Chains A and B, each alone.
Chain A
Amino acid sequence: MNNVLGIIIQRLLLGLVTLLIVSVVIFVAVNLLPGDFAQLILGQGATEESVNSIRRDLGLDQPLFVRYFDWLGGMITGDLGTSFAQLNFTTGLGGVNNVTVLDQILPRLSNTMFLAGVTAMIAVPIAVTLGVLAALYRNTVFDRAANIATLSSISSPEFFMAYVLILILAVINPLLPSLSNIYDGMPFGERLEKTMLPALTLTLVVTAHMMRMTRASIINLLASPYIEMARLKGISPMRVIVRHALPNALAPIINVIALNLAYLITGVVVVEVVFVYPGIGQLFVDSVKIRDIPVVQACCLIFAAAYILLNLTADIMSILSNPRLRHPK
């Protein structure tokens, strides 16, 4: 068991190092964006003096590496800074009425996590079950149909799938609300109902990948001697796949699931826009538009952390799914 613990600690440290490197990349990249907040907010007619004064207030006149270490120090102590867009200029950066980046991001992030969670609850079981069934009935009509259906849904643009679902489930059969304008303190049931259409849209987007990996990694194992042994013991085909193939096929499946979950947190802007869902993706896009650099940077860092954390979890679960590591000699 020490062995496994050692590997996990090693991976965690590597994850932190990755995050640090990513933070540099984010910081530099964001600062490469053309134009700046001061220029943008004061308009074209602004005098150089007033622009400079705002820049000074915001610390934008400092050299890049000083700003980076300020920012990094803030990150480590949990202070993500103050959002430029909500700044109260009469009191300056330290003022009490300022909205911090954390205040802006947290509710949006929790909404995004909620959507991702609901989607995962629907998509992962469906994808794995479909994958197992497709492997069991491989090269039959069922297998082909499942492949065609999932591949078509992944090949169509997300907004198109979203509108098709709205048409079917909200307009023709008014079962679900087509607007997902959820807010704080909304009862769970209502929240779930409003989240359902975006979650279904996203399910259609992520299922194909996971299902096909499940199918492929199971079929990959079907030629192994222990599968032949199971068949020669007279075990039913379904049991052969679920009991003998699936436990050994978990590692690649877990990795693809993690990748798709990371996508659900970081890449769902289009779906959020279609359903007016107040997620972090929309906040991110809005902040880029107005050069609200602290929010953009924080969002990027959260996205990177989500990717790293989910891949880390996948790695650790893959390790744990290997009996050789769980039960050393």
Chain B
Amino acid sequence: MSDLLVKIRGLKLEGRSDETWNPIINGVDLDLHKGEVLGLIGESGAGKSTLGLAAMGFCRDGVRISEGTVEFDGIDLIKASAAVKRDLLGKRIAYVAQSAAASFNPAHQLIEQHVEAPVQHGVRGKSESAEDGIELYRKLRLPNPDEIGFRYPHQVSGGQLQRAMTAMAMACRPDLIIFDEPTTALDVTTQIEVLAAIREIVEEFNTAAIYITHDLAVVAQMADQIKVLLKGDEVETSDTRSMLSAPKEDYTKSLWAVRSFERPLKAPVVAGATPVVSIRNVDAAYGKVPVLHDVSFDMHEGRTVAVVGESGSGKSTTARCITGLLPPTSGEILFDGQPLPSDYRKRNKDQLRQAQMIYQMADTALNPRVSVGNIIARPVQFYSGLSGKELRKRVDHLMDQIELPADQYYNRLPSELSGGQKQRIGIARALAADPKFIICDEVTSALDQLVAEGILRLLARLQDELSLSYMFITHDLATVRAIADEVVVMKDGRVVEQGPKQEMFQPPHHPYTDLLLSSVPEMDPDWLSNLLAERGVDNIGDAASEKI
């Protein structure tokens, strides 16, 4: 066909680690026609981003193309000189990165960065590009399109930056845009705005796109075709509707299955039972800025309370109040009915031991220079005073509990573990204190769906065995559905709704809960269109959230 824009044949890519080259992509073919959107999905490490960048003729440092061809509109991008490629990049092929906050240069205003590509490529003059940029900002429904461009990246919110970056990619009206997980870092309500904006503008300019994501429901809204990758191999490719209704390969089916994990409902809490942790009318502030307003909820033994809300809603701040890292300005926190000192420095060892934490980024929460066994042994020693053989026995037992046998893993460093394994070590470290109550702060949000499910199952099993109470902080409603017994919805530092899970997922809802629930993408390819039709284009995402 004459309108074939990208043609990739037998592409193999290798990455260097420890002086050897290991395969990342093992021979993938890809065809993209003008105006078409291809979804690339797979877990992290599947090679999605590497393949996306290779379609631009670009390899990150330490990555090389070992075999195959990449053609863009008949130009061989592998043989092309750096100057030829530079001429294409930004002008005919553009890129939208995952983290707009990191991908905008902090030192320059948005509009300066917007006009750079058209001016440098000689497409348009500076003032003309700036006017065009403002026009694009308006099309992408950014607030104050006339002046938002004169702000610096840190002055603009994440969802707005992501749209500004899409506008920047559009600056030269390219034929192809690579979207690399553009909404992964965003809240569900913000994600909708960005998805709607991207889809609209790609349709309007008839731009071809490669849309990279690990979220099937998102890709279902965006793509005409979907290609599934697994560890550098193509699993299957077909058009979106048939992929969703009838996936052929087992792996693709397993991606669907993740959403089916759900804990059985527990009997309701016995009336009058003393909660393990009770938060009573807590207000808190960072300096003079108030962040929590009259937050109250209870957590009972052997149960999971999911705290949901967007970033900035006060979920993690509530956790900081419970652990004593941020003493509340008023209100109190009861543990087994007894008030806890508000500052962790005033708590005794036993009070400290009872409440433990598991963090979002296992990568940064584990000391990279300490072996896994010692990471777990340290809190055991600190709280129980065990040593020698006794200590080792306890650590071995903990490692068995998280399904990482000590004989294989004791001496490994965190860098020798996968993301899911590191999170398991985080869990073992929390268990080492033998607590009654654990705060899980977004513990699965950095993990792939299959791995995340494993962690959720492990947490559920540990809860049953040890009657632990969890406070489960998350913004992912699928996780809530899977693991929660009670749900607390937070917005702007207040609790807007709380109750047992089965009630929370049944209407009628608080309008904000309703907005959150309806914003979670569904597998139906028409979901976004229907939702936009229902809400009206000017009433999605943040705009809708502000009205509540």
Contact = CB atoms under 8 A, between A and B. Distances in A.
Nearest to A227: B105
Interface string A211-235: 0000000000001111011111111
Interface in A183-228: 223-226, 228
Task: Name the interface size band of chain B.
Answer: 20 to 34
Interface string B286-312: 000000000000000000000000000
Interface in B63-91: 85-91
B102 to A, nearest CB: 4
A304 to B, nearest CB: 34
Given A323-B152, A324-B154, A329-B155, A235 B120 contact: yes
Interface stretch (B14-22, B53-61, B454-462, B530-538): B53-61
Contact of B106 (A235, A243, A324): A324
Interface in A99-158: none
Contacts of A228: 60, 97, 103
B121 interface: yes
A239 interface: yes
A229 B104 contact: yes
A233 B121 CA distance: 9
A98 interface: no
Contact of A323 (B56, B95, B154): B154
A226 B102 contact: yes
A233 B106 contact: no
Contact of B120 (A234, A247, A323, A327): A234
B107 interface: yes
B58 A232 contact: yes
B375 interface: no
A239 B120 contact: yes
Given A225-B102, A239-B120, A234 B90 contact: yes
A244 interface: yes
A18 B89 CA distance: 53
A248 interface: yes
B102 A235 contact: no
B492 interface: no
B147 to A, nearest CB: 13
A234 B91 CA distance: 8
B162 interface: no
Contacts of A236: 86, 120
B56 A232 contact: yes
A66 B196 CA distance: 78
Contacts of A244: 105, 107
B479 interface: no
B440 interface: no
A232 B52 CA distance: 12
B134 to A, nearest CB: 19
Contacts of A230: 105, 116
B117 A233 contact: yes
Nearest to B95: A232
B103 A229 contact: yes
Nearest to B88: A234
B129 interface: no
Interface in B2-30: none
Contacts of B91: 234
Contacts of A232: 56, 58, 89-90, 94-95
B106 A248 contact: yes
B90 to A, nearest CB: 4
Contacts of A248: 105-107
Contact of B154 (A225, A234, A235, A329): A329
Interface string A299-323: 0000000000000000000000001
B99 interface: yes
Contact of A327 (B87, B89, B155): B155
B107 A323 contact: yes
A282 B384 CA distance: 66
A323 B94 CA distance: 26
B382 to A, nearest CB: 37
Interface in B120-157: 120-121, 151-152, 154-155
Nearest to B112: A243
Nearest to B98: A225
B75 to A, nearest CB: 14
Interface in B397-428: none
B509 to A, nearest CB: 32
Contact of B116 (A224, A231, A235): A235
B86 A234 contact: yes
A248 B459 CA distance: 43
A224 B120 contact: no
Contacts of B120: 233-236, 239
B155 A225 contact: no
B257 to A, nearest CB: 33
B106 A323 contact: yes
Contacts of B151: 327
A243 B116 CA distance: 11
B99 A225 contact: yes
B104 A226 contact: yes
A201 to B, nearest CB: 36
Nearest to B60: A228
Contact of A226 (B58, B61, B106, B121): B106
A234 B105 contact: no
B103 A225 contact: yes
Contact of B89 (A224, A233, A323): A233
Contacts of B58: 231-232
Contacts of B61: 223
B106 A234 contact: no
Contacts of A229: 95, 97, 103-105
A233 B102 contact: no
A252 to B, nearest CB: 15
Interface string B441-457: 00000000000000000
Given A234-B91, A327-B151, 19 more contacts: A223-B61, A225-B103, A226-B103, A232-B56, A232-B95, A233-B116, A234-B88, A234-B90, A235-B116, A235-B120, A239-B120, A243-B108, A248-B105, A248-B106, A323-B152, A323-B154, A324-B106, A327-B152, A329-B154
16 contacts: A225-B97, A228-B60, A233-B95, A233-B116, A233-B120, A234-B85, A234-B89, A235-B90, A247-B105, A247-B107, A247-B108, A323-B152, A327-B151, A327-B152, A327-B154, A329-B154
Across the A-B interface, give the 10 residue pairs with the lowest CB-CB distance, nearest first. Answer: A234-B89, A234-B90, A233-B90, A247-B107, A225-B102, A232-B95, A225-B103, A226-B105, A234-B86, A229-B103
Interface of A: 223-226, 228-236, 239, 243-244, 247-248, 323-324, 327, 329
